Amino acid sequence: MSSITEAGGLKSAWRKLDKGQAVKWTVYTLLLINWGFYFVEELYISSHTLRQGGTILEWTREFATTIDEFAWFGLLFMFELETYSLEDKALEKKRVRRAIHGLRLLCYVFIVHTIYARVTDVIEFNEVVRAPEVTGLCQLAGSEISFGENFDYTIIDRDNCAEFSEDTRFYYLDPSVITDLDGYELERRLLWIDLVEACTWLLIMIALELAVWLQNRNITGGRLMLVSHAGKFLYGVLWAAAAYWVWKGHWVYAWDEALWILGFWAIEGNLSEWRDEIREEEAQQPA
């Protein structure tokens, strides 16, 4: 009898569970785990690219994704508070609204830093020149130089120097990182993908900010709202980038991209529910 009661209780709890919220917070948790992965990965990359030291700006550029994701978490949760979690009474308080908007502004500062880092990477890559003195990687064995390709770096030594590339054309990506022609061309494409992703996300955020601004004023239609909806089409660019990461073997990057898209789709869902509430309240008002 007790087992039947317990089973009935579980079914009842499952029915009461807000499955949309459960999925949303699962996505948020997975994003937090991914953030830890990126920190460890950028620590690994910087141990090769900045082995000879660097300025504060160079270090922040190497940890651009870690900083970027931290800022995106801030944006995600500020949007979550304003579009779903906080009651209207709380949002009507100026200090609450100013705190949310102030923290969002701070997050945008970090995101602009990421775009700066991506733009700088692309510009500096254009200055990369061929290393004519290097015709074979075994020349660099024991020199503490790493061979880098597709975000994978290995210090060149006598045992592995003949394994990386049979090419005779090499390029220094950094003073301590060298690659061949294929690695050079791939690095260019990956840098541009990073830059396009960063700019696309910023445009999506502008569209979200516009939608929130309008709905805070009980506006649910019109040309400006249509402009804010146009931001949804930009997710297609991000899905294309995710597909490219899969193609190049970076499954975690694609997984992370997909999670962030789902995370902000949850915010889009919050906005849709909010619009429905505004319209219902307007319909109930006497003519």
Residue pLDDT, tens place only, 76-93: 889 988 888 888 788 778
What is the enclosing helix (H) or strand (E) of 179? strand 177-180
Assess if residue 12 is contained within a domain.
no
Mean pLDDT estimate for the chain: 84
Assess if residue 3 is contained within a domain.
no
- Is pLDDT above 50 for 7? no
Residue spans of alpha helices (H) in the chain: 2-16, 19-49, 56-62, 64-80, 88-91, 94-125, 181-215, 223-230, 235-247, 251-284
For Cα atoms 251, 187, 116, give the angle at the middle one, nearest 5 degrees.
95
Band of pLDDT at residue 18, cut at 50, 70 and 90: low
Band of pLDDT at residue 2, cut at 50, 70 and 90: very low
At residue 10, what is the residue type? L
Identify the pLDDT of residue 52. 67
Total number of domains in the chain: 1
Domain that holds residue 28: 19-284
- Is pLDDT above 90 for 5? no
Identify the pLDDT of residue 11. 47
- Is pLDDT above 80 for 258? yes
Assess if residue 30 is contained within a domain.
yes
pLDDT per position as a tens digit, 183-219? 999 999 999 999 999 999 999 999 999 999 998 888 8
Assess if residue 119 is contained within a domain.
yes
Gap between the terminal Cα atoms of the chain: 57
Average of pLDDT values for 57-64? 73
- Is pLDDT above 80 for 24? no
- Is pLDDT above 60 for 15? no
Of the chain, the percentage scoring pLDDT greater than 70 comes to 90
Assess if residue 8 is contained within a domain.
no
Identify the pLDDT of residue 73. 85
Identify the pLDDT of residue 4. 47
Assess if residue 36 is contained within a domain.
yes
- Is pLDDT above 70 for 142? yes
DSSP state letter for 125 = H
Assess if residue 239 is contained within a domain.
yes
- Is pLDDT above 50 for 16? no
Band of pLDDT at residue 14, cut at 50, 70 and 90: very low
Assess if residue 252 is contained within a domain.
yes
* Token output for 71: 């800022």
